[in-house]
């Protein structure tokens, strides 16, 4: 067997679109909630968790529904098409609402902060008025209170509209995320799924780099985000067109099932179950590993999502540096690492590779915990390590989960995987945001370090999920397996 790289890349355009969207969402929406609507870290964390609250319910449902869907275009493609179209159109509305809120804020005379030193005290002035003699952190909080009290609390209409439009976008994105991710194992033989997932994640990193690239020029604080969101929408439609023209889901799924049957990776019974959509009960020992790996997913998402969702604020307020370029470095190192990671997992197994990734991420978070404004340049090293560590985990964790499923219920188990990750992402922005409000911004990376260490120990006890391909001869061995 040999991985069809072209086919995998074409399937990956759906994930590229998803990743491109979420990088923009995570980087900009948190800043809008604080800068435009005056919310504090806690309440911005609550609203940033909305997508995960919806996803916790919707992703498993859409995964299950797509398993049971039968159309001439396949069972995943219809969800990808409809969901992308709706999300691309409505996301522009989010920027339009923010534009009107920005106009209201500017009309009230509360604009960018001008700061200077007066003795040992920093003075913060808002458009020549409302001077505050305080530390930078206290002045920032006071400024947010001014915005919230003078604008949003008086007339919360725009905030309500903003959240309503955001909800439509989030439902649309949730409708095709699980089907899009499930398509890779649908069309890829079991032993090759880590390698295929490396390519899929590579496509996701490309999407993230595209977003970070145009946000560097179009996403400026206290300026309209409409150009950035319009460009995002256009790119989503373009990549959807490439996907729809190139991907032949029904044909590719049939070819993959025939190949796995021919190579002895599935038997006739499982082939019939895939064809008829029949589920088989998971054995107890496999279920134990399944629960442990989902627990690991929860823990490492608690760590990583807190760091990334709060990084734009942390970089500005603590390190006094920009956030887009460090995140771009993380995505670039991940992009470079994905393919070698797939090869490493082939040689030493998925579990060992994940444990290495967790260790790298632990080092990255520990280093970030000690950075100050004077040593802020080291954030580049930290983000490079974080990119490598996170890529190492991502390439192998999802294939381990679906390895425990049957072909007929890949969407369902993909939903379980996302249920675990989204459950973590519901609570970690809220918990980390609350701790940052109460204990200070610097608690962010120690928080992430604690959870990533916990993930290492739960992952140690996972016993299933490494594919065991049947190697018939040395030439097939050279082609590569996943164990």
**Domain coordinates of the chain in residue numbers?**
5-106+154-479, 107-144
Which phi and psi angles does 375 have, rounded to 5°? Answer: -110, 25
Report d(CA 457, CA 460) in Å as an integer: 5
What is the reported pLDDT for 236? 95
Instruction: Name the token pair of 126.
Output: 């808002």
Name the CATH superfamily, with its identifier, for domain 5-106+154-479: MFS general substrate transporter like domains (1.20.1250.20)
The alpha carbon dihedral of 33, 35, 36, 40 has a sign of positive
- What pLDDT digit, counting tens, does each position of 115-173 carry? 444 444 444 444 444 444 444 444 444 554 454 545 665 567 778 888 889 899 999 99
Q: Convert the pLDDT of each residue in 332-372 to its tens digit.
A: 888 788 888 888 887 888 899 999 999 999 999 999 888 88
> Can you list the residues of the chain whose pLDDT is less than 70?
1, 38, 40-41, 104-155, 219-223, 265-267, 269-280, 406-408, 467-483
Q: What is the 3-state secondary structure (H, E, C) of 63-103?
A: HHHHHCCCCCCCCCHHHHHHHHHHHHHHHHHHHHHHHHHHH
Strands lying side by side in the sheet with 129-133: 113-118, 121-126, 129-133
């Amino acid at each position: 067997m040999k991985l069809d790289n072209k086919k995998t890349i074409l399937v990956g355009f759906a994930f590229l679109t998803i990743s491109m969207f979420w990088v923009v969402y995570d980087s900009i929406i948190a800043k809008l909630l604080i800068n435009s609507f005056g919310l504090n870290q806690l309440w911005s964390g609550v609203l940033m968790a909305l997508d995960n609250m919806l996803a916790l319910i919707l992703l498993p449902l859409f995964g299950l529904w797509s398993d049971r869907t039968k159309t001439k275009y396949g069972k995943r493609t219809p969800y990808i098409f409809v969901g992308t179209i709706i999300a691309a159109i409505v996301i522009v509305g989010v920027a339009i609402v923010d534009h009107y809120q920005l106009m209201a804020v500017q009309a009230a005379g509360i604009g960018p902060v001008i700061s200077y030193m007066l003795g040992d005290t920093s003075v913060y002035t808002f458009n020549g008025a409302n001077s505050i003699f305080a530390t930078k952190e206290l002045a920032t909080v006071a400024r947010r209170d001014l915005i919230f009290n003078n604008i949003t609390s008086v007339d919360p209409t725009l905030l309500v509209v903003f959240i309503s439009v955001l909800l439509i976008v989030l439902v649309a994105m949730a409708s095709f995320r699980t089907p899009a991710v499930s398509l890779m194992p649908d069309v890829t033989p079991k032993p090759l799924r880590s390698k295929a997932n490396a390519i899929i994640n590579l496509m996701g990193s490309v999407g993230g780099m595209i977003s970070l690239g145009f946000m560097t020029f179009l996403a400026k604080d206290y300026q309209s985000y409409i150009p950035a969101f319009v460009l995002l929408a256009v790119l989503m439609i373009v990549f959807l067109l490439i996907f729809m023209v190139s991907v032949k889901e029904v044909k590719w799924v049939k070819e993959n099932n025939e190949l796995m049957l021919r190579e002895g990776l599935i038997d006739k019974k499982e082939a019939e179950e895939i064809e008829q959509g029949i589920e088989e009960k998971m054995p107890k020992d496999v279920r134990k590993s399944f629960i442990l790996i989902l627990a690991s997913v929860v823990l490492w998402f608690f760590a990583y999502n807190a760091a990334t969702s709060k990084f734009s604020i942390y970089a500005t307020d603590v390190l006094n540096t920009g956030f887009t370029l460090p995140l771009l470095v993380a995505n670039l190192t991940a992009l470079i690492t994905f393919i070698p990671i797939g090869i490493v997992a082939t040689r030493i197994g998925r579990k060992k590779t994940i444990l290495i990734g967790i260790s790298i991420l632990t080092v990255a978070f520990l280093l970030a915990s000690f950075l100050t404004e004077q040593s802020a340049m080291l954030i580049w090293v930290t983000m490079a390590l974080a990119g490598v560590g996170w890529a190492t985990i991502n390439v192998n964790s999802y294939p381990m989960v679906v390895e425990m499923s049957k072909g007929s219920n890949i969407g369902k188990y993909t939903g379980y995987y996302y249920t675990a990750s989204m459950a973590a992402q519901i609570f970690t922005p809220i918990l980390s945001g609350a701790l940052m409000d109460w204990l200070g911004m610097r608690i962010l990376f120690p928080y992430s370090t604690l959870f990533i260490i916990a993930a290492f120990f739960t992952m140690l006890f996972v016993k299933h999920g490494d594919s065991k391909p049947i190697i018939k001869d040395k030439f097939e061995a050279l082609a590569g397996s996943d164990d």
